[in-house]
Structure 1
Amino acid sequence: MSLSCPRRFMALGRQPPAMSDDSDLYIPDIVPASDVAYLESQSRYGNRVGWGERPALLVVDATEAFLDGRRTTPDCVADTARLLDAARSVDVPVFYAVPSGRSLPEGYPVPIKGSASSDRTPDDATTDRDREDWVAKLDRLPPAIEPRESEHVVEKPRASAFFDTHLANLLHYYGVDTLVVCGTNTGGCLRATVVDSHSSGFRTIVPPECVADAVTLTHEVALFDMDLRYADVTPLEDVLSKLETVASADST
């Protein structure tokens, strides 16, 4: 399987899923060989969740506040646009979750404390102007992946798109049983949303090409952990094919 970040996918003899023949576990190269050996000896990790019959797509925090600057997945926006096109073409419901700047308390340390190329100090990074500029980008999406007028946009007060929102009710209203989740940041709000999706009883699918983080380590470890416990980390091409298959089955 060819993906944009270095990794290896390993078959671990998982149980056959209901609607997927993908039996590979997402194991980034940073995982120690001893952990890989342990996982190969266990049958309880990495079993496929598989797809149900009524998928939906959720785009989490794919806004300029989080997409500006360094990204572990440079083509995240372009690949997310492909995913959106595929979902819309077969009438799969699309939902967006964006952070609400109004929910941030005064003095909240916005995540712009600098990068390797920045000379800012932590004390300088939370100035009023920095905060104002960053909050202005919280609900501003790149044009290629903007929501359509008919699509639901949920404002979330904290990391998970499910926490203190009506997202779960919306998904149940549409009869959704499978949630494809993409967006940012992989190790933060994206992962929190995936865990809550799993906890809410939805089969959860994550295409790694369509998620991004500013830090490679958190990106890779989060994908590894999600695939072990909460979701199926599935290559984008497989997700696109499955959307067509599910849509065809739904129309017969």
Structure 2
Amino acid sequence: MASEIAKVRERGFGRRVGPGRRPALLVVDLTRAFTAPEASLGADMAPAIDEANRLLDAAHAAGIPVHLSAIAYDDPRTQSGIWRAKITGLDALILGSEGVEQDPRLRRAPSDRILVKRFASCFFGTALAEDLRADGVDTLIIAGCTTSGCVRASAVDACSYGFRTIVAREATADRLLDAHAQSLIDIDLKYGDVMPVDDIVGYLGAVQAVA
């Protein structure tokens, strides 16, 4: 695999985008339905939550916008479209129910914004792109779950909307380790920079110092 990746990089993939001057943090779907291992949609996300908290702390200290997403429906049968045919667990994601609440282990701040979505990407059918532009954001840092699903979809759309896209390696998680690893490779080669949380925290510290 390493040699194959190296060959692809030699052909011009995986160039560094680098962070810009005005970042925002997006924490994708670390809600109870996804972070409870016993839930139909869930898995053990504890390590990713710990790393996401480091990003939240750094983002709050830097005073940058923070968005946390949740998939939720008034009626999944009519609002989740064909996606419901693939994933029966969507039926549990009812607005106001415990499953769509942010995981209580997350160190949130009152200024954090909750983004409710119906499909994988945090951009699809939401005002996220407009909100980021209104805040002057040029860089979107992404954490959360799942790496192969909503994180990847959001990273692809962030790139498509023209934001410098940074995915936090240790602050993302998936139900399948192989899918997690391959998705990070794909994102890093084609859509954004996959970076260690340590490096992102350092970058946010520099943003704070400038501010």
Once the two structures are TM-superposed, the CA of residue 34 in structure 1 deviates from its matched residue by 4.8
Contact 2:167 2:193 in 1 (8 A): yes
For the residues of structure 1 that align with 2:2 and 2:19, how far apart are their CA atoms?
30
Q: Which has the larger radius of gyration?
A: 1
Summarize deviations over 1:145-188 as a string: whole Å, max 9, x none. Answer: 15433222111111100001011111011100000001111000
Contact 2:70 2:102 in 1 (8 A): no
Corresponding residue for 1:120? Answer: none
Match of 1:150 among 94, 99, 111: 111
Unpaired runs of 5+ residues, structure 2, are none
Match of 1:163 among 116, 124, 131: 124
Contact 1:59 1:181 in 2 (8 A): yes
Match of 2:74 among 102, 111, 127: 102
Give aligned-pair identity as a percent.
36
TM-score by length of 1: 0.73
Alignment of 1:25-174 (within 5 A): 32-42=1-11, 44-69=12-37, 71=43, 74-102=46-74, 104-105=76-77, 108=84, 111=87, 131-132=91-92, 135=94, 136-145=97-106, 147-174=108-135
Corresponding residue for 1:13? Answer: none
Corresponding residue for 1:4? Answer: none
Q: Number of aligned pairs? A: 201
For the residues of structure 1 that align with 2:100 and 2:108, how far apart are their CA atoms?
11
TM-score by length of 2: 0.86
SS at match of 1:150: coil
Match of 2:142 among 181, 193, 199: 181
1:33–1:208 Cα change, 3 Å: closer
Contact 1:71 1:215 in 2 (8 A): no
Contact 2:77 2:91 in 1 (8 A): no
For the residues of structure 2 that align with 1:175 and 1:189, how far apart are their CA atoms?
24
Contact 1:194 1:230 in 2 (8 A): yes
For the residues of structure 2 that align with 1:145 and 1:92, how far apart are their CA atoms?
17
RMSD: 2.3
Give the AA of the match of 2:102.
L
1:171–1:103 Cα change, 3 Å: farther
For the residues of structure 2 that align with 1:146 and 1:244, how far apart are their CA atoms?
18
Corresponding residue for 1:226? Answer: 187
Contact 1:90 1:247 in 2 (8 A): yes
Summarize deviations over 1:124-164 as a string: whole Å, max 9, x none. Answer: xx7xxx944x6434421222315433222111111100001
